[in-house]
Amino acid sequence: MDPKDSVLQLKGVGPKKAGALEKLNIRTVEDLMFFLPRDYEDRRKRTRICDMTDGEVTGVECEVAAVVSGGYRYGRKRTLRVTVTDGTGAMEVIFFNAAYLKNAFGKGERYLFFGKAERRAGRVQMIHPDFCRASEAKEGIMAVYPLTKGISQREMRAWQEAVRPMYAVAEDFLSEGFREENRLCDMEYALENVHFPTERQKMLEARYRLIFDELLVMQTGMMAARHMTDENTGGIAFSKEADVSKYIDALPYELTGAQKRCVDEIERDLESGRMMNRLVQGDVGSGKTAVAEIAMYKAVMSGYQAVLMAPTEILARQHFEGMKKAFEPYGIGIGFLSGSLKAAGRRETLEGIKSGRLQVIIGTHAVIQPEVEFHRLGLVITDEQHRFGVRQRVKLKEKGENPNVLVMTATPIPRTLSVVLYGDLDVSVIDEMPPGRQKIATRSVGGEKREKCYDFVEEQLKAGRQAYVVTPLIEESDAMDVRSATQVADELKRRFGDYSVALIHGAMKQDEKDRIMEDFYGGKTDVLVSTVVIEVGINVPNATVIVVENAERFGLAQLHQLRGRVGRGSHRSYCFLIFDGGSETARKRGEIMESSSDGFYIAEEDLKLRGPGEIFGTRQHGLPDLKIADLSRHLRIMEHARREARAVIRRDPELKDVENGGLRHRVVKMFGDDLSLDL
Ligand code: ADP
Ligand code: MG
């Protein structure tokens, strides 16, 4: 056997099992070796039947008293019932659909059963426990693997046992010296103790090593891609003479204290001559855009261009419209670039960017296309940064020579993730809302209150306000029992006969979307029914009520973002979350939304409710999938790996040294085409 062999080489693996394994991304022996348990069971535990409590997971050695096969009890499943005794009591062991086990148990023979005991009205039973002959019982800690349909723990454990001899030949890409310095165990020890631990401590050491490996590979890859430009790199110093106070004084409002602090921090960075790398984190509506404008103004007054990239066309356009008004009085040339521009307009814009006539450029991903050449790029801003991948950010930065970088996000990101995503970004937090903002009254209700909600919407419309209605889907779907945007829009058109109701969704043509948004901004439309296209950043201060249909389909962070569409002006604002069924978690989300308006708190609760897997789905952040490491929990290991990754990259930025060959191989495997690495 060789680690590279297909799993088909293993006993008990045929095409069918191989297919199931493939679902777990296991194709080779090596994949199997690195397929880690999700949990462990302490198989040393034993409980006498008379002492078993309901729900207890434990083991018991018993003698078989009776075996009854067949029968269609418990619904329509064919069952096998084995009655066993241990001298202190009797227990019933039940297997469903288990005709194959019929001859597994002999009367009078002794077995060890391990599973969850259920105790009801004096009767004790275990459903589908693990079992083996008492004489073959293995004591110790047992790995529990995350599985898929068609594979049992028994099988997985047997295959792990089968590949166990391969641990000794597993390649260890970390040298002995490195391991010693970092107090990491070797690969063989790691694999042995992660699959077959004898002690908790050893298992923890083993896991540490494997988690470390994964995080080291990830961060080495990302740092290599960034060429480490984020470290003390010489940057562009903006002029101290470029005075932003003129711009600030002309704003129709006074900056909040938090905005002022943030602007100061940015200005200091910009004048320092070191490249700025700053993250501005501020809740929805805290006024990040004004801060971005001030930074851009500073760039332009220093003789540089500034570019702002937004994740959606609608958002980019909104920024463009707003900034055009803000910058034109100063004679600043401002341009818009997106995929939807017509050829002629596009050519003109590209020319303007190249010649420097356009000093401020707002756009979507289109701004990172190769054809876009800047004249003198000094500042790069990304809005709602978390939506962009690593690669896109690197590309944008490469449009200039170490331009200053500002990233803005309303999504609070846990520390671990921000370290990975942004490296050593400095962070400014806008933790204060502009004055006069009122808390958005939030109600989460069941479907039976829908009518009442819309009655309320109607009152708001009568008072001259506007409303958003958000649904999870565009069209009706047989698969999902939810109200679609199209359907809701039709209903509301009938219901609000005196008002104008518009529908907008992601599948529409750009110019159509633009027209609809324009009408809504301008107050020509009263109600905007949409899918989540309005989720980020849209700013219509006259809109005071938002209704979210099938709120159970949205995550907390998303609901918070949606709610942030209202309450942006001086009018009191409202949010209705309509839950049609949905799980316990969904209801909990409703409660949290009612009780809090603090984005950071909500994000934390979201984490707790959803669990790390979902929220840290690293793909959505443009990161590779992690198999073992969990960014929400492994902060300490992360920081350790990060230190080492940095040391490696500093010595060998392109991973060309022979001793880094194994690491390089791993990096390439993890990132594939996702990073523009010339490795
Ligand atoms: P976000 O942080 O969500 O991007 P915006 O920058 O879109 O928030 O600002 C939301 C609204 O608040 C805008 O209408 C903006 O003009 C307004 N605003 C920003 N700063 C202030 C301030 N200091 N005082 C009053 N209104 C402000
Ligand atoms: Mg914004």
Task: State how far the Cα of 407 lies from the Cα of 305, in Å rounded to an integer.
Answer: 16
Nearest CA to ligand 1 atom 17: 287
Task: State how far the Cα of 378 lies from the Cα of 236, in Å rounded to an integer.
Answer: 7
User: Which pLDDT band, with edges at 50, 70 and 90, does 534 fall under?
Assistant: low
Nearest CA to ligand 1 atom 15: 287
Q: What is the structure's pLDDT at 554?
A: 85
User: Which pLDDT band, with edges at 50, 70 and 90, does 392 fall under?
Assistant: low
Q: What is the structure's pLDDT at 149?
A: 85
Task: State how far the Cα of 126 lies from the Cα of 54, in Å rounded to an integer.
Answer: 10
Q: Which of 248, 249, 251, 253 to mutate to test the pocket of ligand 1 (most atoms within 8 A of CB)?
A: 253
- Choose between 510 and 104: higher pLDDT: 104
Q: What is the structure's pLDDT at 677?
A: 45
| pLDDT at residue 150 tops 90 | no
Q: Which of 286, 308, 385, 386 to mutate to test the pocket of ligand 1 (most atoms within 8 A of CB)?
A: 286
Report how far ligand 1's centroid is from the alpha carbon of 288 (Å): 7
| Lowest mean pLDDT segment, chosen from 289-298, 390-399, 504-513, 518-527 | 390-399
What are the pLDDT digits (tens) for 448-499?
999 999 999 999 999 999 999 999 877 666 556 667 888 899 999 999 989 9
Report how far ligand 1's centroid is from the alpha carbon of 539 (Å): 9
Nearest CA to ligand 1 atom 4: 288
Task: State how far the Cα of 263 lies from the Cα of 248, in Å rounded to an integer.
Answer: 10
Nearest CA to ligand 1 atom 20: 287
Task: State how far the Cα of 110 lies from the Cα of 84, in Å rounded to an integer.
Answer: 9
| pLDDT at residue 185 tops 80 | yes
Q: Which of 539, 562, 563, 566 to mutate to test the pocket of ligand 1 (most atoms within 8 A of CB)?
A: 539
| pLDDT at residue 356 tops 80 | yes
| CB within 8 Å of 484: residues ≥ 6 apart | 471, 473, 474, 475, 476, 477
Report how far ligand 2's centroid is from the alpha carbon of 314 (Å): 12
| pLDDT at residue 608 tops 90 | no
Q: Residue 367 CB: number of other CB atoms within 10 A? A: 26
Q: What is the structure's pLDDT at 679?
A: 37
Q: What is the structure's pLDDT at 678?
A: 40
Neighbours of ion ligand 2 (CB under 5 A): 537
Report how far ligand 2's centroid is from the alpha carbon of 288 (Å): 6
Q: What is the DSSP string of 551-569?
A: GGGS-HHHHHHHHTTSS-S
Three-state DSSP class for residue 454: helix
| pLDDT at residue 320 tops 60 | yes
Burial of 276-303, coded b for 16+ CB within 10 Å and e otherwise, reads: bbbbbbbbbbbbbbbbbbbbbbbbbbbe
Q: What is the structure's pLDDT at 387?
A: 54
Q: What is the structure's pLDDT at 594?
A: 94
Ligand 1 shell residues, CB under 6 Å: 253, 255-256, 259, 282, 284-290, 410, 434, 537, 539, 541, 568
Q: What is the structure's pLDDT at 539?
A: 81
Nearest CA to ligand 1 atom 18: 287
Q: What is the structure's pLDDT at 74?
A: 54
Report how far ligand 2's centroid is from the alpha carbon of 284 (Å): 7
Report how far ligand 1's centroid is from the alpha carbon of 238 (Å): 25
- Choose between 488 and 410: higher pLDDT: 488
| Residue at 513: amino acid letter | K
Q: What is the structure's pLDDT at 277?
A: 83
Q: What integer is the mean pLDDT of 235-247? A: 91
What are the pLDDT digits (tens) for 269-286?
999 988 888 889 888 788
User: Which pLDDT band, with edges at 50, 70 and 90, does 400 fall under?
Assistant: confident
Quick one: which atom of ligand 1 is closest to the CA of 292?
6
Percentage of the chain exceeding pLDDT 70:
88
What are the pLDDT digits (tens) for 89-129?
999 999 887 767 778 888 899 999 999 999 988 889 999 89
| pLDDT at residue 620 tops 60 | no
Q: What integer is the mean pLDDT of 643-662? A: 88
User: Which pLDDT band, with edges at 50, 70 and 90, does 415 fall under?
Assistant: low
User: Which pLDDT band, with edges at 50, 70 and 90, does 616 fall under?
Assistant: very low
Q: What integer is the mean pLDDT of 597-608? A: 77
Nearest ligand for residue 322 CA: 1
What are the pLDDT digits (tens) for 257-267?
999 999 999 99
Q: What is the structure's pLDDT at 229?
A: 47
Nearest ligand for residue 285 CA: 1
Burial of 209-235, coded b for 16+ CB within 10 Å and e otherwise, reads: bbbbbbbbbbbbbbbbbbeebbbeeeb
Nearest CA to ligand 1 atom 26: 434
Q: What integer is the mean pLDDT of 424-449? A: 86
Q: What is the 3-state secondary structure (H, E, C) of 206-226?
A: HHHHHHHHHHHHHHHHHHHHH
| pLDDT at residue 526 tops 90 | yes
The model scores a pTM over 0.85: no
**Which tokens sit at 560?**
């918070």
User: Which pLDDT band, with edges at 50, 70 and 90, does 615 fall under?
Assistant: very low
Q: What integer is the mean pLDDT of 313-337? A: 93
| pLDDT at residue 538 tops 50 | yes
Q: Which of 409, 534, 568 to mutate to test the pocket of ligand 1 (most atoms within 8 A of CB)?
A: 568
User: Which pLDDT band, with edges at 50, 70 and 90, does 632 fall under?
Assistant: low
What are the pLDDT digits (tens) for 571-586?
999 999 999 877 777 8
Tell me the range of 120-134, 228-242, 322-336 where mean pLDDT is highest. Answer: 322-336
Quick one: which atom of ligand 1 is closest to the CA of 288?
2
Quick one: which atom of ligand 1 is closest to the CA of 569?
14
Nearest ligand for residue 540 CA: 1
Q: What integer is the mean pLDDT of 493-512? A: 88
Give me the sign of the Cα torsion angle 516, 517, 518, 520.
Answer: positive
Report how far ligand 2's centroid is from the alpha carbon of 212 (Å): 36
**Which tokens sit at 650?**
């500093």
Q: What is the mean pLDDT of the chain?
A: 86
Quick one: which atom of ligand 1 is closest to the CA of 541?
14
User: Which pLDDT band, with edges at 50, 70 and 90, does 673 fall under?
Assistant: low
Q: What is the structure's pLDDT at 47?
A: 92
Q: What integer is the mean pLDDT of 303-321? A: 90
